[in-house]
Amino acid sequence: MKAFAIEGAYGFDNLRRVERPIPEPRRRNVIIRVKAAALNYRDLEIVRGTYHTRFPLPLVPLSDGVGEVVAVGEDVSRVRVGDRVCSTFWQRWVAGGFEMAEPDYQLGGPFDGVLAEYARLDEQAVVPAPEHLSDVEAATLPCAAVTAWHALVTEGALRAGESVLVLGTGGVSIFALQFAVASGARVIATSSSDEKLERAISLGAFAGVNYRRQPDWANAVLDLTGGRGVDHVIEVGGPATFSQSLRAVRVGGQINVIGYLGGTEGFINPLDIFRRQARVRGIPVGSRASFEAMVRAIRVKQLRPVVDRVYPWTEAIDALRYLESGNHFGKVCLELSG
Ligand SMILES: NC(=O)c1ccc[n+]([C@@H]2O[C@H](COP(=O)([O-])OP(=O)(O)OC[C@H]3O[C@@H](n4cnc5c(N)ncnc54)[C@H](OP(=O)(O)O)[C@@H]3O)[C@@H](O)[C@H]2O)c1
């Protein structure tokens, strides 16, 4: 089979097309023929070598894909040949708290991922793809969508009438916007681009704030909430945005620490958390149970992921470069033909 693997050293130049044997299913494994995949910021960092963990090489990257089950190993009972399934980010986090996740079992590093014609997955690490979604749409769910769902719904217990602040218009934030709107919450989005804010509003956001033109965007969020602040923050900016997120959250509100798009350096005064009585928690994607609950909601609401651009999978490097540009809105995907 054909695949892409990072070989020798990290860096775009070392992401190469390789020939590999089609994997054989071991006990309780399934083999999928990958039909589509989706990119996450983590994949970009892994390829560049800037991710906080350096996995052993060679490595087939990408955690998010959808495929048809073409072979099952001994004792597999959850799926059958012919099923269309999504991968899960965590190969062993079925349910419960993060202590159940087994940190070494992440797809796309350290486990070989789905940037390949075939992939071997644990039978516990697949979820049936929602029928109304195309392959490309279903491929967007495992990381970004589950992260947004886990933050707002599983951990955040989001309720109608609450307010949600999403930072930027990347994959996680746009899923958070969609789930929040579907739950009857009021969404405020920030973005570097007025055009992207218009798109966020067309998806149901109540208001947008351009963080380039309004560097003090927390004040704008406070104004938009009558001085109260928001109930939930999808914090993907990291140290560069956290202090403003703390100002934008209501007293006793929740901040989901998810990413660090603005960089890893910064200063946080814990007393500011105390003054705001904020509930701050890290979000590590989510369990399969979270994924399955999210899929039920996606089916009921007939939600469709926002796909910005689809590349043939052979142009994976161009697709990663496009993600790196930050010009996208929602998800960047790959399609495998044949
Ligand atoms: N903890 C977890 O489980 C988990 C899971 C998934 C992702 N993540 C992390 O979460 C972050 C987002 O991931 P993603 O896949 O959604 O990324 P993405 O799709 O690449 O998001 C990129 C977008 O983020 C916005 N952005 C960039 N810098 C920003 C800043 N300083 N302030 C506000 N917005 C900014 C930009 O939107 P505009 O152009 O609209 O400004 C940009 O287009 C990444 O750091 C990723 O590693 C963590």
Residues 132 and 213 in one domain: no
Distance, in Å, from the CA atom of 259 to the CA atom of 134, rounded to the nearest integer, reads 28
In a domain, 294, yes or no: no
Q: Tell me how far the alpha carbon of residue 303 lies from the centroid of ligand 1, in angstroms.
A: 21
Per-residue b/e over 196-225, b at no fewer than 16 CB within 10 Å? bbebbeebebbbbbbbeeeeebbebbbebb
Residues 238 and 263 in one domain: yes
Instruction: Name the one residue in this structure whose structure tokens are 């012919």.
Output: 82
Distance, in Å, from the CA atom of 239 to the CA atom of 235, rounded to the nearest integer, reads 10
Question: Measured from the CA of 189, which atom of ligand 1 is nearest?
Answer: 40
> Residue 268 in contact with residue 243, Cβ under 8 Å?
yes
Give the CATH number of the domain where residue 240 resides.
3.40.50.720
Q: Give how far the C-alpha of residue 269 lies from the chain's centroid of Cα atoms, to the nearest Å.
A: 28
Distance, in Å, from the CA atom of 123 to the CA atom of 87, rounded to the nearest integer, reads 10
Distance, in Å, from the CA atom of 192 to the CA atom of 225, rounded to the nearest integer, reads 21
Q: Tell me how far the alpha carbon of residue 11 lies from the centroid of ligand 1, in angstroms.
A: 20
Residues 92 and 18 in one domain: yes
Residues 202 and 254 in one domain: yes
The binding-site residues of ligand 1, defined as CB within 6 angstroms of any ligand atom, are: 40-42, 143-144, 147, 167-173, 190-193, 196, 211, 236-237, 240-241, 258-262, 283-285, 323, 326, 328
Residues 103 and 194 in one domain: no
Distance, in Å, from the CA atom of 199 to the CA atom of 179, rounded to the nearest integer, reads 16
Residues 104 and 189 in one domain: no
In a domain, 330, yes or no: yes
Q: Tell me how far the alpha carbon of residue 186 lies from the centroid of ligand 1, in angstroms.
A: 20
Distance, in Å, from the CA atom of 132 to the CA atom of 299, rounded to the nearest integer, reads 8
> Residue 181 in contact with residue 189, Cβ under 8 Å?
no
Ligand 1: which residue has its CA nearest to atom 36? Answer: 168
Residues 150 and 129 in one domain: no
Q: How far is CA 279 from CA 160, 233, 245, 273, in A?
A: 19, 10, 12, 8
Ligand 1: which residue has its CA nearest to atom 34? Answer: 168
Reported pTM = 0.98
Predicted confidence at residue 338, as pLDDT, reads 54
Instruction: Give me the number of domains the chain comprises.
Output: 2
Predicted confidence at residue 337, as pLDDT, reads 79
In a domain, 296, yes or no: no
**Boundaries of domain holding 76:** 2-140+305-335
Residues 51 and 70 in one domain: yes
In a domain, 295, yes or no: no
Q: How far is CA 5 from CA 34, 112, 114, in A?
A: 15, 9, 10
Tens-digit pLDDT string for the chain (338 aa): 999 999 999 999 999 999 999 999 999 999 999 999 999 999 999 999 999 999 999 999 999 999 999 999 999 999 999 999 999 999 999 999 999 998 889 999 999 999 999 999 999 999 999 999 999 999 999 999 999 999 999 999 999 999 999 999 999 999 999 999 999 999 999 999 999 999 999 999 999 999 999 999 999 999 999 999 999 999 999 999 999 999 999 999 999 999 999 988 888 899 999 999 999 999 999 999 999 999 999 999 999 999 999 999 999 999 999 999 999 999 999 999 75
In a domain, 300, yes or no: no
Give the CATH number of the domain where residue 45 resides.
3.90.180.10
In a domain, 41, yes or no: yes
Residues 135 and 221 in one domain: no
Ligand 1: which residue has its CA nearest to atom 42? Answer: 326
Of the residues 282, 297, 323, which one is the last residue of a structural domain? 282
In a domain, 293, yes or no: no
Residues 94 and 20 in one domain: yes
Tokens, residue 193: 């681009």
Ligand 1: which residue has its CA nearest to atom 45? Answer: 259
Q: Tell me how far the alpha carbon of residue 78 lies from the centroid of ligand 1, in angstroms.
A: 33
Distance, in Å, from the CA atom of 229 to the CA atom of 219, rounded to the nearest integer, reads 9
Residues 152 and 271 in one domain: yes
Predicted confidence at residue 102, as pLDDT, reads 87
Ligand 1: which residue has its CA nearest to atom 13? Answer: 41
In a domain, 290, yes or no: no
Residues 68 and 181 in one domain: no
